[in-house]
Amino acid sequence: MSAVLWLISVPFRALGYLFVIGAAVTGFWDLWLSVRDDKMVLTSLGETWFAVSADSLNLAQAAIQRGVHPAVWDPVIVYFLKLPSFTAFLILAAIVLLIAQLLYRPR
């Protein structure tokens, strides 16, 4: 049973570590832009997602508004997309790694 739980937790751990790497990359990118422009630059998660893949952002919006509920997109997801990228990635990493830890705790 513990081997099965470990196998289930592995993708969560991998995704959590990818979010940590994403937080580091976007944090260093904001630091680079801040030093270059000589002012504080904090890129939001929405701006980063739009720069990487605008089509998937629009698809996610349509899927959530039509498939879940329109009220979930506007106050909840939009607020999260306005957070600085590194902060949003760290929050996602903490949630996903917590789920992985709850699934399987090595003894």
Pick the closest to residue 101 from 1, 20, 3, 5 (CA basis): 5
* pLDDT of res. 2: 81
* pLDDT of res. 69: 92
How does pLDDT run along the chain (107 residues), one tens digit per residue?
Answer: 788 888 999 999 999 999 999 999 999 999 999 999 999 999 999 999 999 999 999 999 999 999 999 999 988 999 999 999 999 999 999 999 999 999 988 77
* pLDDT of res. 43: 96
* pLDDT of res. 1: 72
What are the structure tokens assigned to 65, written together?
Answer: 């508004």
d(CA 44, CA 77): 13
What are the structure tokens assigned to 72, written together?
Answer: 């979930």
* pLDDT of res. 96: 97
Q: Provide the whole-model pTM.
A: 0.88
